[in-house]
A and B are shown apart, each in its own frame.
Chain A
Amino acid sequence: MKFSIVKQSVLIFSLLFLIAGCGKTDYKPAAINEKTDKCDVCHMAVKDDGFASEIILENEKTLKFDDIGCMYKWKSENKDEKIGNSFIKDYQTKKWLEVEKASFVYDKSIKTPMAYNVIAFGDKKAAQDFIDKNSGELLTADDLGSHSWERNKAMMEEMKKKMNMNMNH
C-alpha cells in the first residue's frame, strides 16, 4: 500500500516535469496587472501603458519593469541570470514587442515613469516619424546595451547650470 503511494507520486512528478519540459523555447510575455504588478527594480506600480517592459528568465520566472531603464539596471546588476527573452510595450500601439526587434527613441524631453527617457516602437518608420515630429535619437536594441541610462538629464543639466551660476557669483 505504502509502496504504491511512492510509485504514484514518482509518476506524478515525472509527468509534471514532462509537461514543464515542453515548449520551453517559446517565451510569451505575461499581461500586466495594474493592481498587483510592481517594478522589480524601483518598486513602483507597473501601468499597462507604453512604457512597461518584461524579462522572462529561462526558468520562466517573469520580471516586470515600469520603465525600460529599470530593466537595463536589473540586467547590469544580475549578469549571471539566464534571460529567456525580454519584451517591451510599443509606445503607440501598447502591444508587446521583443526588445531585440524593436527600435528605440531617446530624448530627454520624453517623460517616462522613471525618467530614463527611452521609448520603443515596433516599426522603425514610426520611430523616425516620432523623431521628425518631436526630437530624439534613434537607437537599436544593440545601442541600448551601451546606452548610458543616465536618469533625468534635464534636472542634472539644470543643477549644473545652477552650480555654475553660484560659482560665478
Chain B
Amino acid sequence: MKNSIKILLVLVFVSLFFGKEAWAQNSLQTQINAAPVGGVVKLKAGTYRERIVINKPVVVEAEGVIIHNCSSKPAITITGKRVRLRDIKLVDCLSGKNSAAISISGSGHQLHNISVTSEKIALKLKNVQKSKFENIRIHGQHKENGIDLWQSEQNLFQQCEIKNVQDGIYLENSNHNTLIKNSIEHSRYGVHVMFSDHITLKQNTSTKNVTGAMIMGVKYAEIKENQLIDNQQNVNAQGLLLYDVHHSNIRDNTISHNRLGMYIEDSSSNTIIQNKVEANFIGTQMKKMTKTIMEENAFIANVNVIQATSSRENQIQHNYWDGALTLDTDGNHKSNIAFKADPYFLTLTSETPPYQLFFQHPGLVLLQKMLKSPDEMLVTDQEPLMTSDWQKNVQVKSEKRSVLLLSLLLITGSLFLLYIGRKKI
C-alpha cells in the first residue's frame, strides 16, 4: 500500500515536472512540417529536447520556446530560402569541435531575437546570401566563434550581443557584409575579418577583448563610428589591428583605454580620419604602412603616442596631439611647429621583446632624446591642429569630496606629527 502511494506520488511529480514536454509531444518538427510554404507557424511555448530542420520558406514564431540540445549536431539547421525565425532560445549542453548551435545556408533568411548559450559556434553561416540577423544574443565558453561566416555575402548583422566567445563575429571569404551596432565583450577578437572585401563595420562596440577589431587581408572596408575600448588585459591586446588592408576608410572611431590603440602593418591607400585615440598605453604603431592619409585624428592622453617603421609616402597632417608644442601665428587653427615622434622604442623592442620592460622608463626617455633618429624615420605632422572637437563635450569625472577629505587628513595628520616631533623630549 505504502509503496503504491509512493509510486503514485512519483508519477504525479514526474507528470508535473515533465508535463509540458509530454504535452509538447506534438514536436516542433511536426509543427514546422505542417506549415505550408510561405505560411506562418506559431510554435507552442515550452522546453523541447529535439533538433529541428527548417528547409522551406516559412515564418517560424517561437515565443517562449526553449530548445535544450545535448548532441554534437546543430539544434537548428536552416537551408533553402526566405526562412524567418524569431524569439527562440537555445541551450546547448554538449560541445563539439567545429560544430554549431545553429547551422545556416541559403539566402534571404531573417533571424530575430534569438538567444544562444553554447560552447559551440553559435551561428555558423556557410554560403548564406542576403540574410538579416538582428538581436542575436550569444553566450559562449571562449571555445568557438560567436557568428562564423564562410563564403557568405551581403548579409546584415544588427544589434547582436556577444560575450565570452573566441571571435565575436568571424568573417572569412565573405564580401559585402554589414555589421551595425553589435557589441562584443570578454572574447578573443571582437570582430575578425579575413580575406573579405567591401565590409562595413559601423557603430559596433568591442570591449575587454584581446583585440577589438582584427581586420586582415581586406580591401574597401568601411570602419566607422565604432567604439574599441578597454582591450588591454592580454599582452598582445589592441583596439584595432589592420594587416594587409587596402583602400579602406577608418573614420570617427573611438579607440581608448587599450594596450595599443591602432596597429597597422603591410597596409596601403587607406584613409584614417577623425578618430579619437585616447588613453592607450601606446597610441598607434605602424609598420610598412604606405600611401595612407591620416588626418584630423585626436591623440589624447596616450602614454606613448605614435611609432612607425618602414612607412613611407603617407600623408600625416592636421592631427591633434595633446603632447605637442603648438604655436599658431597665422590664425588658421593649425600649429606652425611640426610634431615629430621617434620610433626608437618600437625598433628596440621588435628586435628584443624583453626590453618592453623599459616602457616609459625615465632613462629610456633620455636615451631616445640622445639617439635621435634621422628625420626621415620620424612620424612628422607638419601642421598639427591646435584644438580638437573630441575635447569638447567630455564628461569630467571628479571625486571632489573624497579628495578634499584625503587632503585634509594628510595635512592635519602630518602637521600633528610634525608638531609632536618638534616638542618631543
Contact = CB atoms under 8 A, between A and B. Distances in A.
Direct contact of A and B (CB under 8 A): yes
Interface stretch (B224-232, B235-243, B415-423): B235-243
A160 interface: no
B265 interface: yes
B173 A155 contact: yes
Contact of B236 (A43, A115, A151, A155): A43
Contacts of A158: 151, 173
B344 to A, nearest CB: 20
Contacts of B195: 115, 151-152, 155
Interface in A24-61: 35-36, 38, 42-45
A45 B216 contact: no
Contacts of A42: 216, 243-244
Contacts of A45: 188, 210, 236
Contact of B216 (A35, A38, A44, A155): A44
Interface string A43-83: 11100000000000000000000000000000000000000
Nearest to B265: A43
B194 A38 contact: no
Contacts of B214: 44
Contacts of B263: 43
B217 interface: yes
A38 B244 CA distance: 17
A152 B217 contact: yes
Given A42-B216, A43-B263, A45-B210, A36 B173 contact: no
B272 to A, nearest CB: 18
A44 B210 CA distance: 10
B349 interface: no
Interface string A147-169: 00001101100100000000000
Interface string B162-197: 000000000011000000000000001000001100
A36 B244 CA distance: 22
Nearest to B195: A152
A160 to B, nearest CB: 14
Given A152-B217, A155-B173, A43 B194 contact: no
Interface in B200-230: 210, 214, 216-217
Nearest to B188: A45
Contacts of A44: 214, 216
Given A44-B216, A115-B195, A38 B236 contact: yes
Interface string B143-156: 00000000100000
A11 B265 CA distance: 44
A6 B269 CA distance: 56
A168 to B, nearest CB: 20
A43 B173 contact: no
Dominant SS among interface residues on chain A? loop
B217 A151 contact: yes
Contact of B173 (A35, A38, A152): A152
Contacts of A151: 195, 217
A115 B234 contact: no
A38 B238 CA distance: 13
A108 to B, nearest CB: 11
B142 to A, nearest CB: 11
Contacts of B151: 158
B213 to A, nearest CB: 13
A148 B210 CA distance: 32
Interface in A67-107: none
A38 B214 CA distance: 13
User: Which of B188, B195, B214, B263 is most buried by chain A, counting CB atoms within 10 A of its CB?
Assistant: B195
Contacts of B243: 42-43
Interface string B232-269: 00111000010110000000000000000001010000
Given A42-B243, A115-B195, A155-B195, A36 B236 contact: yes
Given A43-B241, A44-B214, A44-B216, A36 B194 contact: no
A25 B6 CA distance: 76
A126 B179 CA distance: 42
A44 B234 CA distance: 13
Interface in A121-152: 151-152
Contacts of B244: 42
27 contacts: A35-B234, A36-B234, A36-B235, A36-B236, A38-B236, A42-B243, A42-B244, A43-B241, A43-B243, A43-B265, A44-B214, A44-B216, A45-B188, A45-B210, A115-B172, A115-B194, A115-B195, A115-B217, A151-B195, A151-B217, A152-B173, A152-B195, A152-B217, A155-B173, A155-B195, A158-B151, A158-B173
Interface of B: 151, 172-173, 188, 194-195, 210, 214, 216-217, 234-236, 241, 243-244, 263, 265
Given A45-B236, A115-B195, 9 more contacts: A36-B235, A42-B243, A43-B241, A44-B216, A45-B210, A115-B172, A151-B195, A152-B173, A154-B173
